[in-house]
Amino acid sequence: MLLARLTHVSQEVAATSARSRKIALLAELFRDAEPDDVPIVIPYLAGRLPQGRLGVGWKVLSRRVAPAAEPALTVREVDALFTDLAKVSGAGSQAERARLVGELMGAATEDEQRFLFGLITGEVRQGALDAVAVEGLAQATEAPPADVRRAVMLAGSLQTVAQALLADGPAALDRFRLTVGRPVLPMLAHTASSVSEAVGKLGACAVEEKLDGIRVQVHRDGDTVRLYTRTLDDITDRLPELTGAALRLRGERFILDGEVIAFDADGRPRSFQEIAGRVGSRTDVATAAKEVPVSPVFFDALAVDGRDLLDLPFTERHAELSRLVPEPMRVRRALVSGPEDIAAAEEFLAATLARGHEGVVVKGLDAAYSAGRRGASWLKVKPVHTLDLVVLAAEWGHGRRTGRLSNLHLGARTADGGFAMLGKTFKGMTDAMLAWQTERLQELAVDTDGYVVTVRPELVVEIAYDGLQRSTRYPAGVTLRFARVVRYREDKRPEEADTVETLLAAHPEVRP
Ligand SMILES: Nc1ncnc2c1ncn2[C@@H]1O[C@H](COP(=O)(O)OP(=O)(O)OP(=O)(O)O)[C@@H](O)[C@H]1O
């Protein structure tokens, strides 16, 4: 497929607000696409680079290159060039990157140059586009949209499903069944402001501890165990004690969902940073395991003995979990019959906080497991409310922080797929965090005036704050009071960051 076609459709999709028109435009595009174009076309439409990082900085991008008169570039040629770019390293890499970018831009028309520039800088991110693409794909291949959605959920990748569908038609959807050894995107939670709100919404429910560790999906098939993170990375080799625990369970073939957590000598949960450090360390696993031994705590069962449990009510899935997993390895919970039983739910929350955990997740008993989605039947309640925001830029520090990128510009998502800056912070950062962010943000840099470094909006950071106040300086009309960094959320994509809309909804006091 020609890049010009994609550029044109991308402009048309951005220009219309009608969902049905967007779907029709994408359906037309998919009908014309070769199956091998799809793994490139879908991320490009959403403003994502399949290669992740290209290492192309603003210096290279700011060079003007005369555009081509006629469109000739194909999306696969662009992708091949991006792959070459991502591989460039070592001495002379800056010049080599400049050469490759020059070659690419010189072969692109003016429209295409604009599109490619937006893609490389991360300017055009359209988070909502994947959902529209699912519908467009269903329309193009005459497959039922619900079946395409379920296949995407199970494959964990829209591109994989799209490629199979375009190559083999709707029959290909049968291939995407829940399979032990193939990870699925985990179900996520919505937020409720209190347990009474959550119980009021859900009725009969289980109130479970919310453990502040790392989400883990454990697959066992006989003697083989594999462990996956929330973003489906395989971390089996890093956590041998989890493999051991899974092999000691009664079942032979299962998929369980839970959290990896570590306790100190007094049985209190260790900090998230310690657990994240442990899960992140690939080298010398044995020493790391001695310093921070971790254990799994399970809260759901997705498959047992080859049976797919996803569509069963939570009560039945939990019964299977209890059959397999002994109580100490299951999350603590209280069953609550409904709002009349609210005292029991409050009491459980208080006891959970007293044990050092971060809050509770309230779960409807009848609900199925909605993999890859924020299900309405899981509501998290945390007394300390934080925001997940995206770093838009950073300022070079002064004094003790000279040479470090320090003051972060923080953005929330806007309805049009962009980001609105809400304020800045240089508080809450450890020295290790400063060093890490200086390096990482420079990799993401797309522009600088020597003081403020603008970056691709990719890094999600969790921010604590004391409230909002009105401000005419910021585009959303509000700014954060006393914002400070809690941690980086490398397991989250910018599309998952908080939106201006939800933030304003949570703070009626600042609404005009
Ligand atoms: N009992 C539990 N049930 C479900 N999730 C739990 C539980 N205990 C801890 N968790 C963790 O809490 C998360 C639920 O919140 P959510 O789905 O919104 O993810 P998140 O955005 O990563 O949340 P947060 O930033 O609040 O940890 C899960 O991803 C999981 O890692």
- pLDDT per residue rounded down to tens, the chain (512 residues): 999 999 999 999 989 989 999 999 999 999 999 989 999 999 999 888 888 778 787 778 888 899 999 999 999 999 999 999 999 888 888 899 999 999 999 999 999 999 999 898 877 666 668 889 999 999 999 999 989 988 988 887 888 999 999 999 999 998 888 989 989 889 999 989 899 999 999 999 999 999 999 999 999 999 999 999 998 899 999 999 999 999 999 999 999 999 999 999 888 999 888 898 898 888 889 999 999 999 999 999 999 998 999 999 999 999 999 999 999 999 999 999 999 999 999 999 999 999 999 999 999 999 999 887 788 899 999 988 899 999 999 999 999 999 999 999 999 999 888 899 999 999 999 999 999 999 999 999 998 999 999 999 999 999 999 889 999 999 999 999 999 999 999 888 898 999 999 899 888 888 76
The answer as to whether 420 is a domain residue is yes
**Atom nearest to 213 CA in ligand 1:** 31
Amino acid of residue 288: A
Q: How far is the CA of 33 from the centre of ligand 1 (A)?
A: 38
Ligand 1 atom showing the smallest separation from residue 210 Cα: 8
Q: How many domains does the chain have?
A: 3
The reply to whether 168 and 247 lie within a common domain is no
| Residue 179 belongs to some domain of the structure | no
| In-domain check, residue 180 | no
Instruction: Tell me, yes or no, whether 151 and 267 share the same domain.
Output: no
- Atom 27 of ligand 1: nearest residue by CA position: 212
In a domain, 320, yes or no: yes
Q: Ligand 1 pocket, 210 CB below 6 A?
A: yes
Distance 189 CA to ligand 1 centre (A): 7
Distance 301 CA to ligand 1 centre (A): 16
Residues annotated as binding site for ATP? 208, 215, 230, 259, 299, 374, 380
Instruction: Bin 371: left if φ > 0, else alpha if -120 < ψ < 50, else beta.
Output: beta
Distance CA 61, CA 150 (A): 40
Residues 369 and 347 in one domain: yes
The answer to the question of residue 7 being in a domain is: yes
Structural domain of residue 289, as residue ranges? 188-381
Say yes or no: 216 and 351 in one domain.
Answer: yes
348, 381, 414: which is the final residue of a domain? 381
Whether residue 410 sits in one domain with residue 319: no
Atom of ligand 1 nearest to the CA of 230: 29
Q: Does the beta carbon of 79 sit less than 6 angstroms from any atom of ligand 1? A: no
**Is 182 among the domain residues?**
no
β-pairing verdict for 295-304 and 224-228: unpaired
Q: Is 208 in the pocket of ligand 1 (CB under 6 A)?
A: yes
Q: What's the ipTM?
A: 0.96
Q: Which residues are catalytic?
A: 210
Q: Is residue 119 part of a domain?
A: yes
Q: Answer for the pair 36, 163: CB distance below 8 angstroms, yes or no.
A: yes
State the CATH number of the domain containing residue 489. Answer: 2.40.50.140
Q: How far is CA 144 from the centre of its chain?
A: 26
Q: Are 11 and 139 in the same domain?
A: yes
Residues 252 and 363 in one domain: yes
Residue 392 shares a structural domain with residue 289: no
- Report the CATH number that the domain containing residue 306 is assigned in CATH: 3.30.470.30
Pocket of ligand 1 contains residue 460 by CB under 6 Å: no
- Residue 361 CA to ligand 1 center (angstroms) comes to 8
Contact 218, 209 (CB under 8 A): no
Answer yes or no: do 271 and 347 share one domain. Answer: yes
**Of 121, 140, 174, which residue sits at a domain end?**
174
CATH, residue 51: 1.10.3260.10
Residue 201 within a domain: yes
